[in-house]
Amino acid sequence: MIRFEDRAAFDRALDRLPEPDGSAIEASAARQAQLTKPAGSLGRLEEIALFMAGWQGRERPRADRIRAAIFAGNHGVAARGISAFPPAVTTQMVANFQAGGAAINALAASCGAELSIVPLDLDRPTADICEAPAMSEAECLDALNAGAAAVTAGTDLLFVGEMGIANTTPAAALCAQSFGGLSPDWIGRGTGVDDNGLARKADAVAKALALHGPHCTSAFETLRRLGGREIAAMAGAILAARHLSVPMLLDGFISSAAIAPLARDNPAITAHCLAAHNSAETGHARLLQALRLKPLLQLDMRLGEGSGAAVAAQIVRSALAAHAGMATFAEAAVAGAL
């Protein structure tokens, strides 16, 4: 298991990112070239198979052990009237996840993912990012380590998701801080906030950036000041997964925003990640471009909680089923290309 002892250990882990297994990719590509189909005809399914081969270190990658971790946190900035729902919904939805009644329960079961729910200090919201850093150094480290602890070596595919009323606001602040652009570029309606709520959100992001921007000199500090516990936990899980060579699916706007500060410091952080979908939340398309990720799906989803990743996991399963199960030209006695 990966654990970040202190902020410097996190910085080091981000600085020294392992690469995929090149020989497994080569072997997998050689097999792919022999399968009974015109070269390239399975499109992105072929890329996915090689991506999975590299991170799993196997010619025929598997999707037998899919794990999902959903992190939940509460946000001080919610008091500014920036969400269509009250903050109590975070805890209520965690109970719903635990009882099996949420979308992610149904979708994780459907793709064969083992689901873990990780509530993070829900009775203690982060500080309002317009007034103070969201978390202390110790709180941020705890959240990063809660994320890292959710990653198990040998997992074939991992996805992370989140639940946190108001978290599209810190997510927008993380994007603007990491990649620039005006705050309206990154601000959307989240759970369905009205025009007045949207204006309050733009104001909150602008205030947070003015207060913290000059101090955001590292990924850790940016997460600590502008993020939230569930956001830092996703960042910790993504970095830990990289060090355990576990391939990942990113879900929506908030889970993608969690690695924005990491990508600013080391753009290679996204190499073990597939973007599951392009969320309907404003800013997600721009964010995926900045992360240099091409979403697998565009379904106008904007739920969060890992839902888009669970649907995309079915695509990964299909890619691997074709790659592992198809006959070669020689096996099937089919003539190859002229």
Ligand X SMILES: O=C(O)c1ccc[n+]([C@@H]2O[C@H](COP(=O)([O-])O)[C@@H](O)[C@H]2O)c1
Q: Which residues 65-104 are close enough to bind ligand X by CB under 6 A?
A: 83-85
Maximum alpha-carbon separation in the chain: 70
* Stretch in the footprint of ligand DMD (CB under 6 A) among 220-228, 288-296, 299-307, 326-334: 299-307
- The span from the CA of 256 to the CA of 273, in Å, is 10
| Cβ-based nearer residue to ligand X, 52 or 254 | 254
The reply on whether position 163 binds ligand DMD by CB under 6 A is: yes
Strand, helix or coil at 159? strand
Binding mask 195-234 for ligand X (x = CB under 6 A): ----------------------------------------
Of the residues 191, 222, 245, 270, which one makes contact with ligand X according to CB under 6 A: 191
Question: Residue type for 199, please?
Answer: A
Tokens 């199960």 map to which residue?
A: 325
Tokens 């606001």 map to which residue?
A: 169
Please report which helix (H) or strand (E) contains residue 248, including its range: strand 248-250
What b/e string do you get for 70-82 counting C-beta neighbours within 10 Å, with b at 16 or more?
bbbbbbbbbebeb
The residue among 134, 122, 121, 116 whose CA lies nearest residue 90 is 122
Of the residues 163, 240, 288, 296, which one makes contact with ligand X according to CB under 6 A: 163
| Cβ-based nearer residue to ligand DMD, 20 or 197 | 197
Binding mask 300-319 for ligand DMD (x = CB under 6 A): ---xxx--------------
Q: Locate 145 and state its tokens.
A: 């380590």
* Stretch in the footprint of ligand DMD (CB under 6 A) among 54-62, 219-227, 297-305, 316-324: 297-305
| Cβ-based nearer residue to ligand X, 160 or 219 | 160
- With 0-12 / 13-18 / 19 or more C-beta atoms within 10 angstroms meaning exposed / middle / buried, residue 91 is middle
The reply on whether position 183 binds ligand X by CB under 6 A is: no
Residue 22 DSSP class: H
Catalytic annotation, residues: 305
| Cβ-based nearer residue to ligand X, 20 or 170 | 170
Strand, helix or coil at 277? strand
Of the residues 48, 259, 281, 312, which one makes contact with ligand X according to CB under 6 A: 281
The residue among 134, 156, 274, 145 whose CA lies nearest residue 211 is 134
Q: Which residues bind ligand DMD (CB under 6 A)?
A: 85, 89, 93, 163, 191, 303-305
Which residues make up the interface to ligand X (CB under 6 A)?
83-85, 162-169, 190-191, 193, 251-254, 279, 281, 284, 302-305
